[in-house]
Structure 1
């Protein structure tokens, strides 16, 4: 039996060099786990709960009015997260008419769905801590160098935290909307990307606070924080998810990965979203020169959807707390006993804790690592790879595809 190892110094030195420069086309894929790992202004966590916490809060608030319906829906659904429940509610609102299911008719379920959206909006409508935040660190990294290509941020989150972080330092960004009175979505600008590279692209894949339908039924951005038109990954609402801007933004994600020599780095994203996972799978298979680095918070055995993609795609790498899967090779993290050079100790401490656990699956150390990438402490050359194995012959970990 051969045991593979991965040297975190090797991979992080290479990544640090890439993100410190402005020459490579880089994107970020940010999921709900990012805001869940950020601190509130009072020092407690989370700033915004992840899906499980969001589900508990919303259903607890609505239980006095809709407990019978909540119990009935949970009994018939295999998954009980808020997005699955909302998908079922909206489908019932469209098909049952005056008939009743769980003692509600179609109009009643429509009202129930609106109440869920309203409660979600209240929970995710938060502000960044004034003392600093992970998103502020990421914006500092983005704006800190001249770039050949814009950084593109793809996020499934509905909050306005990235918008706040960019605006607080007067850094320009483009989210696909243009106009003054009722900003409208322009899919041509999204697909062509004509703006200068200093304009970060911010793509809200599942919609956002402040989006609503105009009198013509088109999605507009209001500049407010209402949540009546949040869009969730609903399997039964094919017509809605295919409308602009949602289809155009998913197309943009695929087009990004189909561009030669691109790197997409994910944080706080579980890869359980079937639409996004399918798009990544297709694009990475078609373009071996693009790569995805998935930074995951849990141990590798608990990151099933990400590992499934890594098993099929050698250009999809998973960096979990205890192990990594890089170029199809699974191995435990093993840092050399000796530092590569005398300056590397503080740098290693940004991605490995004292027990040797990899930390960049959490948004705060992840953001600090990116923001500090331009530090003068750096390798003159990449560190030599140290191979260790429990049984001979040893395997030689390969460098990440970037």
Structure 2
């Protein structure tokens, strides 16, 4: 099928559109027609035994757009060291190999850190110049992330906050007896944490502690329970609990050289540049993702633990992964997704604002029956998804009870069928009925 600007593929329904109606009445009819195909399918998919949500940088961009602020860019930074041109050339080459096309700040940082590791052995003076370039680039990137957080926090846009909460609740509002939603993200910001806090969702991750949460390697299946009133010894699972794994780290992760442990710093959401929790040398302390090569990051701490969580969560029967804002430019993540799809009962839902060559290249390696797709400016819009196409699992119980009630009332309100005329009296007719 030739794909146009907008379209979807859910179950046996598949439609593409060159343009979306602009007239309000026509747009309402368009949405109503296609919601009948998309929403029930997604509602059924979301009830899978294992539900996972993978969010990329497009998620932050969408929320920032709704709040009317600019999102963090991934553009490369300039450098003054003599190795800067070679670093940029290597970053561009590695980006092409990954199918990313144009190099971004991550590609540049990976190449620069690879050069820094070598120069630390053979030339300390040159290493200092490269280190200074890396620190400047990471400083700018870090401050840009914080500025985006601050812009979203300061934006007087109640719909943006409500949209963020509704999006997360559409996935997290599962029955407590089902396995928890597991959110994975490649983002470094704390937008997911902010949305969960506002929505009242409790997060379970690998960090343990209150004053100085430490990253733990143990994989104990921690969860939240409560004791129902009047019942002792029979704890029940709480609703509104999610698991969170930040695959590439976070801007508030730090590495303690003395204890050799990773901890989460008390960096406020959208902290100013002079906040004391921010590092003076990000290349040494900020645990955001710059590794020499993406194919070896699973052998380094803490990414080995994070990617083991990712693979073990999705590569199993009856598993569903929903991606939003993820551009399929990370080979190490794509490889795990393809391994997941080798399980016949697994399913992948891709929601993208644009169906570019990277997504098409990934789709060419999959079986269409295992992949649902919503793409284009209309179906990939966060606002449109929340308002029209994403299911509201929190309302499923009420809707089910209402349907059952209406069905019972319909039977109760059917008038009794009239008795046929027999020419007999009432007493005679009742006697005949009793004999029969």
Shared fold (TM-score greater than 0.5)? Answer: yes
The runs of 5 or more residues in structure 2 that have no matched partner are 4-11, 16-33, 96-102, 225-236, 269-277, 404-436
Question: Is 1:92 matched with 2:115?
Answer: yes
Question: Is 1:18 matched with 2:44?
Answer: yes
Aligned partner (choices 285, 310, 335) of residue 253 of structure 1:
310
Alignment check: 8 A CA contact 1:320 1:361 kept? yes
Q: Distance in 1 between the 2:294 and 2:346 partners? A: 31
Summarize deviations over 1:355-392 as a string: whole Å, max 9, x none. xx6623233333444365648899x9xxxxxxxxxxxx
Aligned partner (choices 6, 11, 14) of residue 6 of structure 1:
14
Q: Distance in 1 between the 2:42 and 2:193 partners? A: 25
Report what 1:273 is aligned to. Answer: 330
Question: Is 1:136 matched with 2:165?
Answer: yes
Normalising by structure 1, what TM-score?
Answer: 0.69
The runs of 5 or more residues in structure 1 that have no matched partner are 322-356, 381-402
Report what 1:317 is aligned to. Answer: 371
Report what 1:120 is aligned to. Answer: 141
Higher mean C-alpha displacement, 275-284 vs 3-12: 3-12
Note closer, same or farther for the CA distance 1:236–1:17 as it changes in structure 2 (3 Å cut): closer
Q: CA deviation at 1:317?
A: 2.0
Normalising by structure 2, what TM-score?
Answer: 0.64
Q: Distance in 2 between the 1:160 and 1:305 partners? A: 26
Alignment check: 8 A CA contact 2:54 2:324 kept? yes
Alignment check: 8 A CA contact 1:34 1:362 kept? no
Once the two structures are superposed, the pairs formed by residues 3-402 of structure 1 within 5 Å of their partners are 6-7=14-15, 11-18=37-44, 24-39=49-64, 44-46=68-70, 48-49=71-72, 53-55=73-75, 59=77, 63=78, 66=80, 70-76=84-90, 77-78=92-93, 79=95, 80-97=103-120, 105-125=126-146, 126-127=149-150, 128=152, 129=155, 131=158, 132-133=160-161, 134-142=163-171, 144=173, 146-147=175-176, 148-189=178-219, 192=221, 194-195=223-224, 196=237, 198=239, 199-214=241-256, 215-224=258-267, 226=278, 228=282, 229-232=286-289, 234-236=291-293, 241-285=298-342, 287-299=343-355, 302=356, 304-314=357-367, 316-317=370-371, 319-321=373-375, 359-368=378-387, 369-370=389-390, 372=392, 374=395
Q: Give the match's secondary structure for 1:92.
A: helix
Q: CA deviation at 1:98?
A: 7.5
Q: Distance in 1 between the 2:2 and 2:329 partners? A: 31
Tell me how many residue pairs correspond in the alignment. Answer: 325
Q: CA deviation at 1:90?
A: 0.5
Question: Superposition RMSD on alpha carbons, in Å?
Answer: 3.5
Alignment check: 8 A CA contact 1:306 1:318 kept? no
More helix by share: 2
Q: Give the match's secondary structure for 1:210.
A: strand
